[in-house]
Structure 1
Amino acid sequence: MSLFYFVAFLSIFFSLMVIITKNPVHSVLYLVITFFTFTVHYILLNAQFLAVVNFIVYMGAIMVLFLFVLMLLNLNKDTEPMKSVLVKVMGAVAGMCLLVTVAGSIRAIEVSDPLILKSPDIGLVGNLGKVLFNEFLLPFEISSLLLLTAMVGAVLLAKKEQKSI
């Protein structure tokens, strides 16, 4: 149980570092560490498939893509737009609303006993496949079509227009 609390502390700490850090590359690297702590949480919850998918897909593919895009953008102080005072005030108000919501949620939670799973096989691949392809087949297929459409759109946006003579 102490391992869970230690990893939860690390998750919160590195999540805050993602937000606080000014350098976008450092922020993405902290996000990688945050996703790694999520992988440890999935392993502690006996959800090995989710741990592997989180490790491969999020930490491997998406974070590398984020780093690649950030390095392509070549962000510096000259290209960064000036933020008005109104935008900063609205950001502070939104942050305070989020803080109040999180504080109210934490206050409403009652923790009496540690989490005990009724079925120890709940996070395994076989059970996930049964639920995914029986109860959630239509949303699964719609999400695959949505991802395919996004990929085709990204290819069309990246394609350079050829000049006609």
Structure 2
Amino acid sequence: MITIIFYILATVTLGTAILTVLSKHPVHSAVYMIVCFFSIAGHFLMLNALFLSVVHIIVYTGAVMILLLFTLMLMNLNEDHAPKKKVASRIAAVISTCLTAFVLLAVLLKSNTVIDTYRAENIDFASVKVIGQVLLNEYLVPFEFASILLIASMVGAVLVSKREKKA
């Protein structure tokens, strides 16, 4: 039964991720991304990571997607205003995507799991205490970089949506 649920969630995740990228209408793309985020939260639930699932729904599906939808609505994106992409930019996008996939695959193959050490010490690796210790001890710098990135994106969204006064 759990295998069937995993395959359903994986199909929904991959399908909506592809639709997010291929959709021409930005609002439809945002809705597909919301569904993709919910299905990823379902994967976290299957891994018995309840805290990560709830945080994923609150942060990504709630805050980031609302910010994205407000930005899309403020910018009033239409297909008429979008210029055609040049062949060189498409080739650069394909090359950067392939390089990113290569790096992710290398990280996946070279990574080792630390779950076995937590199981050997009989520690609940999905508890809030352990997640907080790991996040604020071992991953403090990336955690702070993520907060700076979110603040910069919010300032950027405000600056983009701000209209110039006509004198």
TM-score, normalised to structure 2's length?
0.69
Within the candidate set 48, 51, 55, 2:50 is matched to 48
Within the candidate set 117, 141, 163, 1:139 is matched to 141
Say whether 1:130 aligns with 2:137: no
Q: 1-side partners of 2:25 and 2:154: how far apart?
A: 31
Q: 1-side partners of 2:101 and 2:153: how far apart?
A: 38
Q: Which residue number corresponds to residue 5 of structure 1?
A: 7
Q: 5+ unaligned residues in a row in structure 2: which ranges?
A: 110-115
Q: 2-side partners of 1:89 and 1:155: how far apart?
A: 28
* Equivalent residue letter for 1:124: S
Q: Which residue number corresponds to residue 35 of structure 1?
A: 37
Q: 1-side partners of 2:92 and 2:72: how far apart?
A: 26
Q: 5+ unaligned residues in a row in structure 1: which ranges?
A: 110-115
Q: 1-side partners of 2:53 and 2:20: how far apart?
A: 21
Tell me the CA shift for residue 9 of structure 1. 1.6
SS in 2 for 1:146: helix
SS in 1 for 2:77: coil
Give the greater-gyration-radius structure (CA). Answer: 1
Q: Which deviates more from structure 2 when the two are superposed, residues 143-152 or residues 6-15?
A: 143-152
Q: 2-side partners of 1:78 and 1:140: how far apart?
A: 39
Q: 2-side partners of 1:152 and 1:90: how far apart?
A: 27
Q: 2-side partners of 1:89 and 1:152: how far apart?
A: 30
* Equivalent residue letter for 1:35: F
Q: 1:23 to 1:137 in 2, by over 3 A?
A: closer
SS in 1 for 2:125: coil
Q: 2-side partners of 1:127 and 1:152: how far apart?
A: 30
Within the candidate set 17, 20, 24, 1:18 is matched to 20
Tell me the CA shift for residue 90 of structure 1. 3.8
Within the candidate set 72, 78, 83, 1:76 is matched to 78
Q: 1:131 to 1:4 in 2, by over 3 A?
A: same
Question: Pairwise CA RMSD of aligned residues?
Answer: 3.9
Judge conservation of contact 1:46–1:122 (CA < 8 Å) in 2: no
* Equivalent residue letter for 1:78: D
Q: Which deviates more from structure 2 when the two are superposed, residues 31-40 or residues 84-93?
A: 84-93
Percent sequence identity is 36
Tell me the CA shift for residue 98 of structure 1. 6.1
Judge conservation of contact 1:14–1:33 (CA < 8 Å) in 2: yes
Tell me the CA shift for residue 10 of structure 1. 1.3
